[in-house]
Amino acid sequence: MKQSWLWTLIALIAVSVVSYGIYQATRPEQLPGGFLYGNGHIEGREIRIASEVAGRVTEQALTEGAQVTKGQLLVAIDYETSRDQLSAREGELLALRDSRAALRSQITVWTHHLETATNQYERVQKLRASNLASDEDLEDAEDSLREAQGQLDRLQAEQNAFDGQIASAEALVNLAQTQLDRTDVLAPKSGTVLVRAVEVGEVVQAGQPLGLLVDLDRLELKVYIPEGDLGKVQIGNAGRVRVSAFPERYFDARVARTDDYAQFTPRDIHVPSERTRMVYGVTLALDNPDGRLKPGMPADAWIRWDDTMGWPTELPVPVP
């Protein structure tokens, strides 16, 4: 009887040891101290391309997935209407300038008349003082002086009005030139085409979206950190990111900013039991020198909040 119990006890101990060994061997690896984990989807800085003028699309170079460089022509809009408007404005400006030139010639003539009339009036005044001229002579000289001054004042007022009209016409010419320049829609910066929203032959309106670019050099990943761990995270903390497309590679990252307000964990977080916790969003800026990372990729991220810790060879995904 005693031997039977003894063998039973030994068997139980053996089973416990084996079970514990199996547990230790199969237990998920825990996240080392000094690190925080989060997951989310990679996002890019989107740049919406829109037309600033209305017209028919004559050319487009938007190929989804293609790289474009800053200043590259993306969409060309029929420029004939804008060119005709510019020609008309330039014609109006030229006519105004010609009219002002003719007016300046008249001003030059009447300026000379005014000088002559002024000299004549002063001469007649001296003669009248010596009784060598009559009152009628003085009145005639004064009338000539008044006429010359009135004509000159009128012409100068017209010149001022022309100057205002010419300034307005120059502004309209510049506007027409700007409208003509805007018929070529250029890439505001280098990036990758995500969406093409226009085809050759379509008539677009001013402000209508034509496509969507993303800056692959400025990708971000937003993860959510439990409220109690937020104090550990500092701007500039190093991070590493891994995506399913490249499971053997870690991409460098850094903490760019943290949210000011807590929220409930978003529903797209992978672990359902974590969705009711209060968390803070932490945004990581990603290094993507070879363009491997793309917007929309699900990603795991690790933040090293303790700079004294070295990066482990393998970074585990913790299991709650």
CATH number for position 38: 2.40.30.170
- Tell me, yes or no, whether 96 and 172 share the same domain: yes
Q: Per-residue pLDDT for 27 more than 50?
A: no
Residue 175 lies in a domain: yes
- Tell me, yes or no, whether 53 and 176 share the same domain: no
Q: Per-residue pLDDT for 22 more than 80?
A: no
Let me know: does 37 contact 271? Beta carbons within 8 Å: no
Q: Per-residue pLDDT for 26 more than 60?
A: no
Tokens of residue 258, six digits: 């943290």
Q: Confidence band (pLDDT; 50, 70, 90) for 17?
A: low
Q: Confidence band (pLDDT; 50, 70, 90) for 282?
A: very high
pLDDT in tens, 212-233: 998 888 899 999 988 888 889 9
Q: Confidence band (pLDDT; 50, 70, 90) for 237?
A: very high
| Mean of pLDDT values over 95-120 | 89
Share of the chain above pLDDT 70, in %: 86
pLDDT in tens, 82-94: 777 878 888 888 9
Q: Please state the pTM of the whole predicted model.
A: 0.54
Let me know: does 43 contact 295? Beta carbons within 8 Å: yes
- Tell me, yes or no, whether 73 and 204 share the same domain: yes
- Tell me, yes or no, whether 145 and 105 share the same domain: yes
Residue 4 lies in a domain: no
DSSP annotation string for the chain? -HHHHHHHHHHHHHHHHHHHHHHHHHSPPPPPTTEEEEEEEEEEEEEEEE-SS-EEEEEE---TT-EE-TT-EEEEE--HHHHHHHHHHHHHHHHHHHHHHHHHHHHHHHHHHHHHHHHHHHHHHHHHHTTSS-HHHHHHHHHHHHHHHHHHHHHHHHHHHHHHHHHHHHHHHHHHHHHHHTTEEE-SS-EEEEEE---TT-EE-TT-EEEEEEEEEEEEEEEEEEGGGGGG--TT-EEEEEETTSTT--EEEEEEEE-SS-EEPPTTSS-GGGTTSEEEEEEEEEP-TTS---TT-EEEEEEE--TTSPPPSS------
* Range with the poorest average pLDDT among 2-6, 103-107, 157-161: 2-6
- Tell me, yes or no, whether 133 and 268 share the same domain: no
pLDDT attached to residue 260: 84
- Tell me, yes or no, whether 171 and 84 share the same domain: yes
Domain containing 193 — which CATH number? 2.40.50.100
Residue 268 lies in a domain: yes
Tally of domains within the chain = 3
300 against 13, higher pLDDT? 300
Let me know: does 138 contact 107? Beta carbons within 8 Å: no
- Tell me, yes or no, whether 101 and 241 share the same domain: no
- Tell me, yes or no, whether 166 and 194 share the same domain: no
- Tell me, yes or no, whether 98 and 150 share the same domain: yes
Nearest to 283 by CA among 26, 12, 42: 42
How far is it, in rounded angstroms, from Cα 238 to Cα 233?
10
Q: What angle do CA 12, 17, 22 make, to 5 degrees?
A: 125
- Tell me, yes or no, whether 205 and 56 share the same domain: yes
- Tell me, yes or no, whether 116 and 265 share the same domain: no
pLDDT attached to residue 298: 94
pLDDT attached to residue 25: 42
Residue 105 lies in a domain: yes
Domain interval for residue 169: 80-181
Q: Per-residue pLDDT for 270 more than 90?
A: no
- Tell me, yes or no, whether 117 and 262 share the same domain: no
pLDDT in tens, 142-187: 888 899 899 889 988 888 988 899 899 889 888 888 888 888 899 9
Let me know: does 206 contact 53? Beta carbons within 8 Å: yes
How far is it, in rounded angstroms, from Cα 164 to Cα 180?
24
CA distances from 4 to 13, 15, 107, 138, 177 (A): 14, 17, 134, 155, 104
How far is it, in rounded angstroms, from Cα 201 to Cα 273?
53
297 against 133, higher pLDDT? 297
